[in-house]
Amino acid sequence: MRRLLYISLLLLVLLPCTAAEPVDTIRLATMMENRQYEEVLQLTTRELKRFPKSGAMYYYRCQANAYLGIMNDAMEDLNKAIRYHRDVPMALPDLYVMRAGMYLLIDDTVAALTDYSMAIQSVGKHPRNSKYYVRRAKAYAYYEQYAEAANDYQSACRIEPENAELQLELARYLALSGQLAPARQLLEDLSTLHPEQIEAPYLLAVLLCYYEEEYGASVDWLITSLTRRYVATHTIGDADILFMVGAIDYPYVYRALSDEIARYDAAAVYGLRDLFYLLRAELLNQRGYTDDALADLDSVSSFSFRREMEPVLEQERINFLVHLERWQEVIDRTTPLITQQPDSSPYYQTRAAAYYSLEQYPAAETDLRRAFIIDSSAHTAYMFGTLYRHLKRDRDAIRYFSYTIQHADTLYAYLTQAYLLRGESYLRSRDTLAAYADFEEVLRRDTNFYNTVRHYALYRLGRTEEALTWVNRLIQEDPGAGSYYDAACLYAQEGDTTLALQYLEIAMRWGYSDPRQVLHDPDLDPLRSHPDFQALVNRYVPSLKPKTQPKTQTKSQNKSQNKSQTKTQKTNTKKK
């Protein structure tokens, strides 16, 4: 009896000791890493019944609930983890940051910023604690409170005065908050004193270009940034500023890139030389000097860049050849790419366009069929539609234009043209009601002067005066070759031969020189018997061969692309 009493007392002492602590947190952490969220939820719930003040259990159950998408329960558990934070495997400031992040998810601005502030207040000025200012700064930036974000980055910089990354972010938000002078000074110091910095000269170029409109200085700093990025990564950085400034001050940008090419060529630094050859090629192409752009691109060695750049450079070369209408070379260069990547739809599309332009229609149809099998895209269907429309297979054209309209999003560049061309195919099929419905849809969608075909829809609907009014406004708003060509077509249809020939001459003088389009466009039929028409063709297309080198685009597509050309003729002398 006495022995039994001793055993009972011993059990009363030992049993509470064996269950005095909740489950090991290392086990829970391992389960979270293995994504055993349901098991973690069950285990922590069971343990919390025994230890209702275990912050660690609330912390892990919060994580499991969050990963399972049960956000209300996760927030409730996190609040309790903060209350009983002593055994949580995370510092109290980090718990506040964690809760602030959850508040950001539900867009509770005040609560999120309050928690970031509590995290900052609960830590001292130790260098590692600058991260809490950075967290709050990012929250301020998320809500576009850039001045407050800049203030927090200033506080972080005071804690870590040698941290260049913090200074870079400070400069960014000073600029965004309108404090341009200190932002510029800070970026200039960073760019000069920290040559390892790539972003600092780039941000300085952005500030000078978009905020202060000092275009020459912005180009100089951008070249510095591009040079540093290439040296560090052998890749090309963001060069949009170059081309934007090139549209404003082309001679300056051209000279700056040429100077870099000459400098690195003289120093036998061929990688950097090729970088600037590539950028100058893009600039030349932007200005319409595609022959010179192709020459620059041919000077670039693929060994100067990472291996993944090789197909990119080849694709760019093919794009230039397309622009120059060197269709056989397009086919010759695209065919090896198709062999290497037989599942690449764009390569089939490009080669199909070249076959179409060489009037090799069966080959074009075969390539488009392969492209359509691969991706069934709206653009491939549009190309099919234009091919069948040209071949006067109107039923097939209608079918593919209908597919384009059904599957293209509202931003598709040729969506309005698809309605117009389907309407014209309906008209040729004598389905007048369907044709007029498509022309009305063009009028509903096409309300500005960019890439417009509204005048054709108006004319097909018999609203001739409105069509002429629109095309005359188009000439004023967008005086390019395509605009004048459209005007020539409409005035030719109206019987005003003099004005039609006048506009056609302007269009061809400014670069609209598609032999097949000019020779076979039915809208120009009333001009063909006029002696001045053949004189214009002979003058601007001296090597006219109707069945060898016509352009890729259909009528409306070709016109819309020509509208973007400027009055400047594409001669090498004007570059100088």
Confirm whether 226 is domain-assigned.
yes
Confirm whether 260 is domain-assigned.
yes
Confirm whether 341 is domain-assigned.
no
Separation of alpha carbons 26 and 14, rounded Å? 24
The one-digit pLDDT tens for each residue of the chain (576 residues) are: 455 444 443 333 333 333 445 677 788 888 888 888 898 888 888 888 888 888 888 888 888 888 888 888 888 888 888 888 887 777 888 888 888 888 887 778 888 888 888 888 877 555 467 888 888 888 888 888 999 999 989 988 888 888 889 999 999 999 999 999 999 999 999 999 888 888 999 999 999 998 999 999 999 999 999 999 999 888 888 899 998 898 889 999 999 999 999 999 999 999 999 999 999 999 998 888 888 999 999 898 878 888 777 888 888 899 889 888 889 999 999 999 999 889 989 999 999 999 998 889 999 999 999 999 999 999 999 999 999 998 989 999 999 999 999 999 888 889 999 999 999 999 999 999 999 999 999 999 998 878 889 999 999 999 999 999 998 998 888 888 888 889 999 999 888 999 999 998 888 888 775 656 787 788 888 988 888 888 888 877 654 333 333 333 334 444 444 433 333 333 333 332
Q: In angstroms, how far is CA 502 from the centroid of its own chain? A: 40
Task: Tell me the CA distances in angstroms from 375 to 344, 355, 370, 398, one per residue in order.
Answer: 9, 20, 9, 20
Separation of alpha carbons 66 and 87, rounded Å? 20
Domain boundary among 292, 324, 356: 324
3-state helix, strand, coil in the chain (%, to 5): 75, 0, 25
Domain boundary among 290, 308, 324: 324
Neighbours of 7 (CB within 10 A): 9
The whole-number pLDDT of residue 483 equals 87
Domain boundary among 298, 324, 350: 324
Short-list 175, 152, 159, 168, CA closest to 200: 168
Confirm whether 554 is domain-assigned.
yes
The residue range of the domain holding 278 is 179-324
Q: In angstroms, how far is CA 297 from the centroid of its own chain? A: 23
Separation of alpha carbons 381 and 403, rounded Å? 7
- Torsion angle in degrees (nearest 10) through CA of 373, 378, 383, 386: 130
Q: Which residues contact 497 (CB under 8 A, 6 or more apart)?
A: 526, 527, 530
Confirm whether 482 is domain-assigned.
yes
Q: Dihedral sign for Cα 256, 258, 261, 262, please.
A: negative
Which of the 8 DSSP states describes residue 452? -
- Domain count for the chain, please give it: 2
Enumerate the H helices of 106-145 as residue ranges: 109-121, 130-142
Q: Which residues contact 511 (CB under 8 A, 6 or more apart)?
A: 288, 481, 562, 565, 569, 570
Confirm whether 211 is domain-assigned.
yes
Contact 244, 209 (CB under 8 A): yes
Enumerate the H helices of 324-344 as residue ranges: 327-340
State the greatest distance between any 2 C-alpha atoms of the chain, in Å, as a whole number: 133
Task: Count Cβ atoms within 10 A of the Cβ of residue 51 and give its class: 0-12 exposed, 13-18 middle, 19 or more buried.
Answer: middle
Short-list 155, 73, 65, 68, CA closest to 116: 155
Secondary structure of residue 139 in the 3-state scheme: helix
Contact 566, 480 (CB under 8 A): yes
Helix (H), strand (E) counts: the chain:
32, 0
The whole-number pLDDT of residue 309 equals 79
Secondary structure of residue 122 in the 3-state scheme: coil
Separation of alpha carbons 85 and 100, rounded Å? 16
Q: Which residues contact 237 (CB under 8 A, 6 or more apart)?
A: 198, 202, 225, 226, 229, 230
Length of the chain: 576
Enumerate the H helices of 106-198 as residue ranges: 109-121, 130-142, 146-159, 164-176, 180-193
Which of the 8 DSSP states describes residue 325? T
| Residue in this structure with the two tokens 């870079």, named with its chain if needed | 168
Separation of alpha carbons 160 and 54, rounded Å? 36
Neighbours of 438 (CB within 10 A): 24
- Torsion angle in degrees (nearest 10) through CA of 472, 474, 475, 478: 170
Contact 397, 425 (CB under 8 A): yes
Confirm whether 353 is domain-assigned.
no
Separation of alpha carbons 352 and 332, rounded Å? 12
First to last CA, the chain: 115
Separation of alpha carbons 43 and 23, rounded Å? 8
